Structure 1
Amino acid sequence: MGTHSHHHDYNFSEQFVFTGRAKTLSLVAIVVGVVAIAFGLLSSDHIMVERTYANLLLMGYYFTCVCAAGGFFLAVQYVTQSGWSSGLIRIPQAMASVLPIAALLLLVIIIGGLFSHNLYHHWYAEGLTDPQSPNYDALVAGKASFLNAPGFLIRQVVFMGSYSICSWLLAKYSYNEDLDGSLHSYKKSFKLSALFLVIFGFTTPIWSFDTIMSLEAHWFSTMFGWYNFAAMWVSGLCVITLIIIQLNKRGYLSWVNENHLHDLGKLIFGFSIFWTYVWFAQFMLIWYANIPEETVYFYKRWEPEYKPWFWINILINFVAPVLILVNRDFVRNRNMLAFVCILLLAGHWLDYYIMVMPGTVESHRGFGWIEIGAALGFVGLFSFLVLNKLSKHALAPAKHPFLEESLHHQI
């Protein structure tokens, strides 16, 4: 490995041009999503309205998780002072910059789900905590000091607000780094990342307890937060990898090669195993103990309409990456890696679907245009916002102190 500078070999001032097919497709997907969601919400069928709103929560949460994973990726790279990733850092920065919009959208969906569409009816309904009421529920009343509307909403605002501010600042400091050329911005990024990782590490499990686990308030699992974190992290890594591969194919990011993709593929492989470990530990312990207040969660998911999806979920999210990404040649092949990323993003959508639907739509007996339309709409919105942000700055962090290390990265 040589030590001379490669800066002159690359055009570090290149900018992504967000026009043509990418822009058109993202806008078309947004329109399809808006139409599908509007039809669902305006339907005279109560179950259809419930299904539509549950899909809004699912996709709003998924969208926010992927953007938060972009911020988490940045923080990890800064704290570990990683050099290999500095050449591709603009991708997670664009995702992190979009997090405030994603968080605000999810907050609106959650407020609507709490007060209008009764998604959180397992704990937020009249009389559940009143011993004199016929609706009194002793289990829910015992959790009322935590599960109450003011506390729930305050936590949502504080958690998503702190993630958004930290992620946005990390992106801003990096853009400033290219302007001032000093280590001042990098040092600020390092300190902020250390703080962000502490906040993120302690609060993401609670955030998932609130947003998703409380949809079925009788049930709880202390592993649920880490299970959600693993899904968020794998999905975020897949999106980063997929965007890099697509940009590479269009002639951008020429300094990002199969060695960088290899590292991203290894991370996806490793954390897919971690996701499976947490999934299996949560399921196996509950199955083996066979305690009614724990098994009720899986009992619903073993009903005929969910059971096939339950097992397909583990097949996609564990078996596929293990069989494919364990091969060095496959993990360095752009098309194969892109295929695995798309498969895992669909797999983790299914993972969230199984988390959300059984507890929110009591009489759900279908899968169709509502699910597809809502997913397309949010994919289009994410693509439009992230690619638009990506087009605003040069694709290379030319003044990053470790950029040279990234240019020489070899495995």
Structure 2
Amino acid sequence: MGTHSHTTYNFDERFEFAGKAKTWSLAAIILGIIAIAAGFFLEGGERMFANLLLMGYYVTCVCAAGACFIALQLVAQAGWSAGILRIPQAMASTLPVAAIILIIIIASGMAGHNLYHHWHADGITDPNSPHYDALIAGKSAFLNVPAFFTREVVFLGAYSILGAFIARFSYNEDLDGSLNGYKKAFKFSAIFLVVFGFSSPIWIFDTIMSLEAHWFSTMFGWYNFAALFVSGLCVITLITILLKRAGHLEWVNENHLHDLGNLIFGFSIFWTYVWFAQFMLIWYANMPEETVYFYKRWEPEYKPWFWLTIIINFVAPVLILIDRDVKRKENKMLFVCILLLCGHWLDYYMMIMPGTVGVHRGFGLSEIGSILCFSGLFTFLVLKNLSKHALAPKHHPFLEESLHHQI
């Protein structure tokens, strides 16, 4: 094993957010906004709001995954990841903005009756109304507008505040050089994991599963968590590789990539396990109130995407990442990360579209515009946050272990 000294690397190195990265992210935002505006006029508000919800939820999940990754590393007292923590910290710092945008999308979509119309409709809980739905009325103590928005605001607010505090304490390590910041970050990380672990399934039930309020699955929260964490890991890996190619993060080596690849591989297997368990149990039980969910996704327009989701998100990472050498090669890891990010977009697409959009065939301006706008905005905000601080947590107590990491 080679040895390294802190004098070998420039731990005060900063990423300068300028040039092509800034230009392309701003261009994506502008083009996305234009396409979104055109989508509203040409393809309708129902389809457009479904796509805005998809991307707003996706970006919020990735940012939350960044906060979750930091918290897990701190609570586990992991040393290998110390050199890359600034990347998930930048994602966690972006979470408040993503959460606010998501809440605005949900509120706007509900106001125009383009979202959540399965339970948020006039007279649906009134026994005297021709639109009365006994099943929805039975859930109305939970599924009502005040309670729904209270949970959204409280949960997303808690994730954002705790994630921001964890990142701030880590940044403060660079200023005072003591362990005070690390100890505070450790405590807040433990709190974050408890809060996030118990509340995220409820938040996911509200945000996505209630789009089809007649249907429910107790596995849905963990299924979404697996997708959330895999997507977050892919973004962390993608940014790490691109920064290295730009001449940054010289203290990060193939061993760090290997560990990130192992995590992506493992959580892709976990995602598949929950996906299969949910699908198999509903198929085997063959209860109409359950099978209706998959019946919609087996319509001719959606069935190819249904199977493509499992191929991309399970078969591809298993066949590619099972090889040790692949996880240590930047080009191949870059390909896998981009593939899985596309795969989990399709996964969210299949969760949202069949039960939300009445008539929808193919992909158009709504999909392209929302992807461009939110991808550009996420890139802009994360890289801007990343540029505010040194790329290395130079006073992190386990940084030396990260420098010597070898597997």
Q: TM-score range by the shorter chain?
A: over 0.9
- Partner amino acid for 1:340? V
Tell me how far 1:104 sits from its aligned partner.
Answer: 0.4
Aligned to 2:108: 112
Q: Distance in 2 between matches of 1:257 and 1:165?
A: 32
Distance in 1, Cα, partners of 2:385 & 2:182: 21
Distance 1:61 1:102 in 2: 8
Question: For 1:118 and 1:372, how far apart are their aligned partners in 2?
Answer: 19
| Aligned position for 2:122 | 126
Q: What's 2:316 paired with?
A: 320
Partner of 1:256: 252
Q: What per-residue deviation string (whole Å, max 9, x for no partner) do you get for residues 368-395 of structure 1? A: 2321221011111000000011111110
Correspondence 1:297-308 to 2 at 5 A: 297-308=293-304
Task: Return the letter of the residue paired with 1:336.
Answer: K
1:343 corresponds to which letter in structure 2?
L
Take 2:268 and 2:311, find their aligned partners in 1: how far apart are those partners?
11
Distance 1:252 1:212 in 2: 38
Match of 1:199, SS? helix
Deviation of 1:364 after TM superposition, in Å, equals 1.1
CA distance in 2, matches of 1:289, 1:75: 38
Q: What's the counterpart of residue 309 of structure 1? A: 305
Deviation string, structure 1 residues 178-221 (Cα, Å, up to 9, x no partner): 10111111000111111110000001111110000000000000
Report the Cα distance in structure 2 between the residues aligned to 1:195 and 1:117, rounded to whole angstroms.
Answer: 36
The answer as to 2:236 corresponding to 1:240 is yes
Q: What's 1:75 paired with?
A: 71
Q: What residue number does 1:155 align with?
A: 151
- Gapped regions of structure 1 (runs ≥ 5): none
Q: Which residue number in structure 2 is paired with residue 39 of structure 1?
A: 38
In structure 1, what is the Cα distance between the partners aligned to 2:362 and 2:254?
A: 42
Which one of the candidate residues 374, 381, 384 is aligned to 1:378? 374
Displacement of 1:118 in angstroms is 2.9
The equivalences for 1:205-354 within 5 A come to: 205-354=201-350
Query: How far is the alpha carbon of 1:50 from its aligned partner?
Result: 1.2
Scaled by the length of structure 1, the TM-score of the pair is: 0.98
For 1:126 and 1:169, the matched residues in 2 are separated by 41
User: TM-score by structure 2 length?
Assistant: 0.99
Q: Are 2:195 and 1:195 aligned?
A: no
Which residue in 1 is equivalent to 2:80? 84
Counterpart in the other structure of 1:359: 355
Contact 1:53 1:117 in 2 (8 A): no
Which of 177, 180, 190 is the matching residue for 1:181?
177
Q: Percent identity?
A: 71
Which shows bigger deviation, 134-143 or 48-57? Answer: 48-57
* Contact persistence 2:244–2:250 (CA under 8 A): yes
The corresponding residue for 2:19 is: 20
Instruction: Choose 188-197 or 110-119, whichever is displaced more.
Output: 110-119
* Aligned-partner Cα distance in 1 for 2:238–2:114: 36
1:59 is aligned with what amino acid?
Answer: M
In the TM superposition, what is the alpha-carbon distance from 1:48 to its structure 2 partner?
Answer: 2.5
- State the 4+ residue runs in structure 1 displaced beyond 6 angstroms: none
| Superposed CA offset, 1:228-270 (max 9, x none) | 0000000000000000000001110000010000000000000
Q: Among residues 63, 69, 90, which one is paired with 1:94 in the alignment?
A: 90
| Rounded Cα–Cα distance in structure 2 between residues aligned with 1:345 and 1:325 | 15
Aligned residues: 407
Aligned residue type for 2:329:
N
Q: What does residue 10 of structure 2 align with?
A: 11
Structure 2: how far apart are the matches of 1:170 and 1:195?
A: 10
Question: Paired residue for 2:29?
Answer: 30
Classify the secondary structure of the residue corresponding to 1:59.
Answer: helix
Q: Root-mean-square deviation (CA), in Å?
A: 0.9
